[in-house]
Structure 1
Amino acid sequence: MALPKSIKAVLLAGLLLPVATGSQQSLTNGTSSHSPFNDSLAKFVGDVMDRWKVAGMSVAVVDGDSVYSQGYGYATLPDTKATPDTLYFAGSTSKAFTAAAVALMIDSQNHSALADGWSTTISSIIRNDFVMYEDWSTEHLTLEDAASHRTGMPRHDAAMFARHEDGSPVTTAQQVQNLRHLKPSATPRTTWQYCNYMYTVLGHVVEVVAGKWLGDVLHESIWAPLGMTATFGDTKDAVAAPEHLAAGYYWDSNAERFVEMHLDSTREDGGAGLVISTVADYTKWARCLLDQTAPFSKAAHAEIRKSRMLMGNLEDGVMGDGDMTYGLGWIKKTYHGEVVWKHGGTMNAYSTQLYLIPRLRYAVAAMANSGLANSAEDEVVWRLVEDKLGVPQEFRYNLTSSYKEFTDEQKTYLEKVDSIFYPNRPEKAIPSSLTNEQIVGHYYDPGYGTLRIVQEDVGGKTLVANRTEPIFLYYLRFRHVSGNYWLVDAWDQGTKSIASTLAGEFKVGVDGKATGLELQLTPKGELGEPNVLFERV
């Protein structure tokens, strides 16, 4: 059903309407600069936000000695507009701060626990907490291994918990302790695999060495020296701040409206994603990195800029040839002849992108209040970057087409996922040996926690599991394939869309009762999380 014309016009007008902002032009290096935030860009941003269903976006540019910023759409519906001072959850762009804090501590030479620098083994600092599934990893993994995502560990995001079953918060130490139950998928130092868990580990290292909460360390050592007065590590501090904290939204395609998400605490995200900030504050962080200024020494800046692990060309040639590398919370690659540092961040209903071009002293920060906004931000950032570089239209990256192609591929994948996981399934499904009523119950894995499978009326009697303890909230819906084999759709509660589909097999004992559920988290032949067996309890 379409929106009434009058309401749709108001929504679109709001998305297209830029919010007034201050700018500065205090050039001292003989270069010329002017604000990129013109009517043409406003229309482009509005179109992008409408296509990706983003309620609000804030964008800021560092160009030499000048800073320009702009807000688009709404921070909170129906009428609080997004501005450069709007607060957003910054997600994984937090990782660069966590790694930079470690770099500062190493550079200070004030901590004997860090005497071996980035080669310091993690277990030498947090031995009781840091126990990996394999003994070699426990004894040998270093701070650098964790920071550069080369530990052999896949994401294991579904095993990261914000709260216990009784609702009490999970501490950083408890989060790290869960690693002993999680299997690796590659030999350490051979393969780049993004792993949020390892930045939680680094955050815990900072807290143990410094003797205080990571958020306090970041405030004292980085944010306060840079004048980042609107940057926080805990949701309650951001809510109490004078700046407005944007509401997070997902788009309900059936009702054709934005639905507000619940604000969650970022404290439990630790070093992987605790930061809440504004694009205005992020320009201060960007300028520090571009100009290599205090509070970091030249040596510390050199460590921050160093490439540490080859990622490969994960963009499949869509954005030029050449491999990407990973360092201390930064991805580095050459685009249009310029070295670019970048990193994105996503929470359940927020997205952030930060791009730096050091040679040009140029940076773009974008923040938005939708879990799908990273793609929208990318389109906006690259429009600004390619305008700055003067790239002819025919040589520009066609992100709109690329993202559509990716979306189409994802749709095709979901349509064919039964053949991907079960290529040899019979044409006529074999009935399950278990009724839904026999399957309903609790299933437990020490690393992934409890699955509470219940039966709901979702277009018929359907098995579902709603997980409320993990940081990344997913709602599982089961689809029978054949026999005791099932497909399990994981619905992202931030976007209300299928984030992934898993294969599941219910195990049956000699008494004919369900004894467990084995989930295949990754299709055969692909690198990712190993299978997990949830035993019935």
Structure 2
Amino acid sequence: MERTPLTRHLTAALLALGLATAGLAPAAAGARAAEPGLPAAPTPEAIDTYLADLTEASGVPGLSAVVTHDDRVVHAAGYGHDADGSPVTADTPMRVASVTKSFTATAVMILAEDGRIDLDGPVTDQLPELRMADPRVDEITVRQLLDQTSGLADTSVDVADLAEATSRTDYVARLHDDALATDPGTTYAYCNVNFDVAARLVEVASGRPFGDFLAERVFGPLGMSGSATRDDVVRPADGYTSLFGWWVPREEPRWFDDTGSAGVITTAADLGPWLISQTGHGRRLVPDADLDAMHTPSAVGEYGLGWHTEDDGTRWHSGFVMTYRAVEWIDPATGYGIAVLTNGAGLTDVTRTALDGLVALTRGEAPVPPAGSPTLDLGLAAVLLASAALGVVGVLRAPRWATRRAGRACWATGLRLAWLVLPALVLALLPALATFLTGGRTFPWPSLLYFGLPVVLVLLVAALAGLAVLGARLRALLRGLPRTLSRRRPVGSAA
């Protein structure tokens, strides 16, 4: 389930404690005059200044963004640098992770319009290879895959096993011993499996590899020449992760290409015509009715077909993988579209900050001035150093501590020692705690060791410090035990 504000705050608290234009020319300098009664349209200069200031203030290595309005690109540019020092531009490819889901949904809608996919027909009738250890799999419709009400959930499938798949066919086959969490159509649960199965359905229905189908029916018609689903076709910029505010270049783990949930590599410039099409302008990929269906939430959740929906009529999708973050946003009512991409992923999300500021500009409001966000990084670094220092002090003072505890009740001493195991316990349970606090999303260790590396290191140091103090205190208690016993002997007892 998408995180509620409370869940986001709880997640942040836990982490702190222990833890994406060919064929369209950019708009000329100077924005179109605002219509009577509407806020002034943001100028390219205002957008550029805001994004440049944000990139500098946040320290993120590279950021690119595009703002569209109706059938034109208002501004598309890049800021910062790649790992080799080359500047990031609007044409710098980056992974957009779960933003891919809106592309996969569009591919399915195109095939549905072609009569090759039945949106409301059972998936297993159209993809017979899909088998699960749950008879309810035969009830899942294609629409339910796209609005994430299929009953598939991270908690009911073996995500770690699926991550080892070598192809989409292998991926679907690995579901044979998994089950559904709920009856299809009754509950919304965000789960990548929905869109990876949908991508395999696209292949079967079209007779083409998923990435090739996107290239022919989505990227090609929109002029997205810098987009692909395989890094041997389009190589993305090198990615970074943040370590206490210091951005470190890191290579992404390998997985099979063309994933329907997170495989798209694209550029800010390419996302211009995509956003224009999604707001109902420019080159159309699907009819208006299909576009409306994609942007309409299901009966049991706030997710449409590959898009999150908001009560104010706006639609969005974010995404992150190990070293990239991205977000896309459209307002069909005003015709504005925004996408922001970064080649850095950490505990804070600069793309969402950028989106908030750009949305404010489209509404004639002043965005919050960009500012550095060292609080979390500095706080975690401080906790790490404090944990290490307290560990050293605790070990050195263990004999004195043991002396003070001599003669006191064993249960009281036990309680004093038990809390020292807490950091190690939290570290061991971190993936499970992250899953709980995010409403069932799975965060395996490889993922946590990228974007969550500072949290893992803080917990590791705290765990080692706690265990070291525990060991030192137990050793001191045992050494002092004979003296304690001798003091407790009755007067006149035998030596």
For 2:28, give the aligned amino acid: Q
CA distance in 2: counterparts of 1:208 and 1:202, whole angstroms: 10
Larger radius of gyration: 2
Q: Does the CA contact (< 8 Å) of 2:122 and 2:140 recur in 1?
A: yes
Correspondence for 1:121: 122
Q: Measured at CA, do residues 464 and 226 of structure 1 come closer, stay the same or move farther in structure 2, by a change above 3 Å?
A: same
Aligned-pair Cα RMSD in Å = 4.2
Q: Does the CA contact (< 8 Å) of 1:95 and 1:273 recur in 2?
A: yes
Q: Deviations over 1:270-307 (max 9, x none)?
A: 11011000011111111111125423223332332332
TM (norm. structure 1) is: 0.62
TM (norm. structure 2) is: 0.66
Q: Which has the higher contact order (CA 8 A, sep 6+)?
A: 2
User: Is 2:465 aligned against 1:491?
Assistant: no
Correspondence for 2:303: 326
Q: Measured at CA, do residues 331 and 388 of structure 1 come closer, stay the same or move farther in structure 2, by a change above 3 Å?
A: same
Return the offset for 1:232: 0.4
Q: Does the CA contact (< 8 Å) of 2:319 and 2:325 recur in 1?
A: yes
Q: Measured at CA, do residues 497 and 29 of structure 1 come closer, stay the same or move farther in structure 2, by a change above 3 Å?
A: closer
Q: Measured at CA, do residues 186 and 380 of structure 1 come closer, stay the same or move farther in structure 2, by a change above 3 Å?
A: same
User: Is 2:27 aligned against 1:24?
Assistant: yes
**Structure 1 stretches of at least 4 aligned residues deviating more than 6 Å after TM superposition:** 26-30, 396-405, 462-466
Q: Does the CA contact (< 8 Å) of 1:473 and 1:492 recur in 2?
A: no
**Structure number having the greater strand percentage:** 1
Q: Does the CA contact (< 8 Å) of 1:206 and 1:214 recur in 2?
A: yes
Correspondence for 1:317: none
CA distance in 1: counterparts of 2:323 and 2:316, whole angstroms: 21
**Structure number having the greater helix percentage:** 2
Correspondence for 2:314: 340
Q: Deviations over 1:497-531 (max 9, x none)?
A: 44899xxxxxxxxxxxxxxxxxxxxxxxxxxxxxx
CA distance in 2: counterparts of 1:122 and 1:399, whole angstroms: 47
Correspondence for 1:364: 338
CA distance in 2: counterparts of 1:35 and 1:188, whole angstroms: 44
Aligned equivalent of 1:252, options 243, 250, 255: 243
Q: How does 1:97-496 map to 2 (within 5 A)?
A: 97-109=103-115, 111=116, 114=117, 117-128=118-129, 130-136=130-136, 138-155=137-154, 159-160=159-160, 164=164, 170-239=166-235, 245-253=236-244, 257-263=246-252, 267-268=256-257, 270-292=259-281, 293-311=283-301, 325-335=302-312, 339-372=313-346, 375-391=349-365, 428-429=417-418, 474-475=444-445, 491-496=448-453
> How many equivalent residue pairs?
384
Correspondence for 2:434: none
Return the offset for 1:206: 0.7
For 1:206, give the aligned amino acid: V
Q: Measured at CA, do residues 194 and 71 of structure 1 come closer, stay the same or move farther in structure 2, by a change above 3 Å?
A: same
Return the offset for 1:211: 1.4
CA distance in 1: counterparts of 2:177 and 2:170, whole angstroms: 12
Q: Does the CA contact (< 8 Å) of 1:94 and 1:272 recur in 2?
A: yes
Q: Deviations over 1:129-182 (max 9, x none)?
A: x2233212x210111111111122323597256875xxxx61111112222333
Q: Does the CA contact (< 8 Å) of 2:229 and 2:258 recur in 1?
A: no
User: Is 2:61 aligned against 1:55?
Assistant: yes
Q: Measured at CA, do residues 473 and 429 of structure 1 come closer, stay the same or move farther in structure 2, by a change above 3 Å?
A: closer
Identity across aligned pairs (percent)? 19
Q: Deviations over 1:359-381 (max 9, x none)?
A: 11111110101123872111111
CA distance in 2: counterparts of 1:408 and 1:120, whole angstroms: 52
For 2:279, give the aligned amino acid: L
Q: Does the CA contact (< 8 Å) of 2:60 and 2:342 recur in 1?
A: yes
Q: Does the CA contact (< 8 Å) of 1:61 and 1:364 recur in 2?
A: yes
Q: Measured at CA, do residues 373 and 233 of structure 1 come closer, stay the same or move farther in structure 2, by a change above 3 Å?
A: farther
User: Is 2:83 aligned against 1:81?
Assistant: no
Q: Does the CA contact (< 8 Å) of 1:234 and 1:266 recur in 2?
A: no
Q: Measured at CA, do residues 218 and 266 of structure 1 come closer, stay the same or move farther in structure 2, by a change above 3 Å?
A: farther
Q: Does the CA contact (< 8 Å) of 1:107 and 1:299 recur in 2?
A: no
SS at match of 1:98: helix
Return the offset for 1:227: 0.9
SS at match of 2:310: strand
Return the offset for 1:226: 1.0
Q: Measured at CA, do residues 150 and 274 of structure 1 come closer, stay the same or move farther in structure 2, by a change above 3 Å?
A: same
Q: Does the CA contact (< 8 Å) of 1:236 and 1:265 recur in 2?
A: no
Q: Does the CA contact (< 8 Å) of 1:75 and 1:369 recur in 2?
A: no
